[in-house]
Structure 1
Amino acid sequence: SSDDEVITIPLTIHENNVLEGARKILKIIRPTWNDDNVKFKQLRDEFAELYKHLVTLNSPVVFCHNDLLLGNVIYEKLTNRITFIDYEYAGQNFQAFDIGNHFTEFAGVDQIDYSRYPSKEFQLNWLQTYLEVYHGPEKLITKRDVHVLYVQTNKFALASHFLWTVWALIQAEHSTIDFDFVAFAQMRYNEYKARKDTFLALRIE
């Protein structure tokens, strides 16, 4: 292709492949899981119930990065521009997943601290700006629009924790990298459990 070629990605796609892929993977893998209180079958059943709930939220399916940890977001101060890098996990997914996943990554990388998860006030301001850019000047963004995305985003943040739990368990079985993937999986799953009741209780009114 020429250097001038531009690939246009539609804002909305009609099916997702990331969470659906995770759902299928959970049905067939048998990784080591050292938590005596949580058997892997429980993980599969739990994700099936979560997935069933998430698909009712009507979050648009769009092209997503799916791995927007802070190291993949480059801010150029001189030009005031942001660039995303590392599209290894990019693909079709629910819009709210990409945002919720990004918010979970506020915890950091080297010293993970989930108390850094953004506050409601921060999220509402962030989501307002996001929707204004996403829809453009032709649409007036209402408080309800922002609230709906806020609810969707936090519920899909649960899916983010689940997805990376599964990813880490697979890596623990197959990766040669010197990293405690099982401990990371446990950390993500624990955060899922800690947030589950609060986030699932959120309602779109």
Structure 2
Amino acid sequence: MGSSPMAQRSGSVPLRAYLRPLLVCDISVSPSCSTESLLRVCRECGPKEWRSDTSTWDDFTVTPVRGGLTNLMYACAHNSIRVVVRVYGANSDAFNERDGRVTKALGEVGMGKQVYGFFQNGRVEGWIQGRTLQPGELVDPDIAPLVGTKMAELHTLSLYENEGESGTEREEERVPTLWSLLHSWMDESESVTFDKGSHNAQRLEALDLPRWREYAREVEVALASTSSPVVFAHNDLHAGNILYDPSSHSASLIDWEFASWSYRDFDIANYMGEVHDCDPDLFPTQSQQSHFLRGYCSVAGGEWQDLYRLAVPWVPVSHLLWGFWGVIQAYKSHIPDFDYLEYARMRFESLKRCTVQNE
């Protein structure tokens, strides 16, 4: 497989783009996400053509977009233009504000969506053609290599920032955020409570979180001796954050709220952990993972077998991170029809039985 156009050029993402003026509207989407409030943010925060459109907007349509676990998303269309309105979930503003700025910066080199504008509880962003994947497709021999190349393109981008008035550019200091994020979520999970004697209180107790906090510390110590490269990573690359367009046979990465400097091997391991959708009996074999890893190595170089060996020890970190995230979301989130405590239980259950099957 040849290198992609992104890999063939020396792509550089200007971190100063995070600070460029962005359209910010002093309005919000209603708690019920009514069509009227979605229409208003589209007219004021959407594409330039919409902001000057004085027509009746009789053709305006709204379609819920499935797959978001933190935010609510709606596909809105008018006059042959389609956008996504992202309404932030509870207590996620800090992550989402950064997500929007990262998306804007990466969009300038073809790695993210266009961001049109922000409103009080969300933003309006461009539409990317495609559908989200199913977990099993993460090891599909035709699709997985596309995702692998996209991750490698992200990891090999040169990120820089402006330094002082001289305008000289330097490589940003690469400080991984993984362990600090895990620590903060472990600490926050200690304050999660439900009504005494309630079903959720019993389920929370059954998770035995003190056990997993101690295990997390042991894993961190064990991985301290590894030398994974530090890259700008997605950190949350599951099936719902990948769009596949069958017409062009292309893949796009979306939703950058957790993107940061992190360990390359964790980003790859996190992808591995998502393939089996929290069912440890379905953890993919080395042969199944090879499709994604071959795609990655076609851009970043190296042997896929070596990459597999280096990434596997980081899989438990993925389950720990998202297990504690699930506990916190069970307490905070207003996203309907998703059982966050069950999600956390499955993540921690995978830790008990997470074994790698080799063919």
Is 2:343 the partner of 1:190?
Answer: no
Equivalent residue number for residue 138 of structure 1 = none
2:317 paired residue among 156, 159, 164: 159
Is 2:326 the partner of 1:168?
Answer: yes
Q: Which stretch of structure 1 is more off in the superposition, 152-161 or 4-13? A: 4-13
Is 2:225 the partner of 1:64?
Answer: no
Equivalent residue number for residue 23 of structure 1 = 183
Please state how far the C-alpha of 1:156 moved relative to its aligned partner: 1.3
Relative to 1, partners in 2 of residues 1:38 and 1:77: Cα closer, same or farther, differing over 3 Å?
closer
Cα deviation 1:142-197 (Å, max 9, x = unaligned):
4xxx33321222211111111110100111121223332111111110011101xx
Structure with higher strand content: 2
Structure with higher helix content: 1
Relative to 1, partners in 2 of residues 1:55 and 1:20: Cα closer, same or farther, differing over 3 Å?
farther
Relative to 1, partners in 2 of residues 1:35 and 1:150: Cα closer, same or farther, differing over 3 Å?
same
Report the Cα distance in structure 1 between the residues aligned to 2:297 and 2:108, rounded to whole angstroms.
Answer: 28
Cα deviation 1:14-55 (Å, max 9, x = unaligned):
321133321243245413473656532222111011111123
Is 2:207 the partner of 1:47?
Answer: no
Q: Which stretch of structure 1 is more off in the superposition, 21-30 or 159-168? A: 21-30
Counterpart code for 1:193: K
Larger radius of gyration: 2
1:132 paired residue among 279, 285, 298: 298
Relative to 1, partners in 2 of residues 1:155 and 1:18: Cα closer, same or farther, differing over 3 Å?
same
Task: Quote the RMSD (CA, aligned, Å).
Answer: 3.1
> What's the secondary structure of 1:57's corresponding residue?
coil
Report the Cα distance in structure 1 between the residues aligned to 2:268 and 2:257, rounded to whole angstroms.
Answer: 17
**Is the Cα contact below 8 Å between 2:176 and 2:261 reproduced in 1?**
yes
Is 2:264 the partner of 1:95?
Answer: yes
TM-score (norm 1): 0.76
Report the Cα distance in structure 2 between the residues aligned to 1:74 and 1:28, rounded to whole angstroms.
Answer: 32
Relative to 1, partners in 2 of residues 1:9 and 1:190: Cα closer, same or farther, differing over 3 Å?
same
Please state how far the C-alpha of 1:88 moved relative to its aligned partner: 1.7
**Is the Cα contact below 8 Å between 2:243 and 2:251 reproduced in 1?**
yes
User: How many correspondences in the alignment?
Assistant: 187
Cα deviation 1:72-126 (Å, max 9, x = unaligned):
2112233332111111221121111111111222234xxx644443211122343
Is 2:317 the partner of 1:181?
Answer: no
Report the Cα distance in structure 2 between the residues aligned to 1:20 and 1:159, rounded to whole angstroms.
Answer: 13
Percent identity (aligned): 28
- The equivalences for 1:67-86 within 5 A come to 67-86=236-255
Counterpart code for 1:132: S
> What's the secondary structure of 2:326's corresponding residue?
helix
Q: Which stretch of structure 1 is more off in the superposition, 30-39 or 18-27? A: 30-39
Report the Cα distance in structure 1 between the residues aligned to 2:224 and 2:230, rounded to whole angstroms.
Answer: 10
- The equivalences for 1:102-113 within 5 A come to 102-108=271-277, 113=279
Report the Cα distance in structure 2 between the residues aligned to 1:99 and 1:190, rounded to whole angstroms.
Answer: 21
Report the Cα distance in structure 1 between the residues aligned to 2:173 and 2:264, rounded to whole angstroms.
Answer: 10
Relative to 1, partners in 2 of residues 1:161 and 1:87: Cα closer, same or farther, differing over 3 Å?
same
Counterpart code for 1:22: L
> What's the secondary structure of 1:83's corresponding residue?
strand
Report the Cα distance in structure 1 between the residues aligned to 2:330 and 2:291, rounded to whole angstroms.
Answer: 38
Relative to 1, partners in 2 of residues 1:68 and 1:192: Cα closer, same or farther, differing over 3 Å?
same
Report the Cα distance in structure 2 between the residues aligned to 1:12 and 1:86, rounded to whole angstroms.
Answer: 22
Report the Cα distance in structure 1 between the residues aligned to 2:228 and 2:300, rounded to whole angstroms.
Answer: 14
Report the Cα distance in structure 2 between the residues aligned to 1:125 and 1:148, rounded to whole angstroms.
Answer: 14
Q: Which ranges of structure 1 fall in alignment gaps of 5 or more residues?
A: 136-140
Report the Cα distance in structure 1 between the residues aligned to 2:285 and 2:331, rounded to whole angstroms.
Answer: 35
Q: Which stretch of structure 1 is more off in the superposition, 165-174 or 99-108? A: 99-108
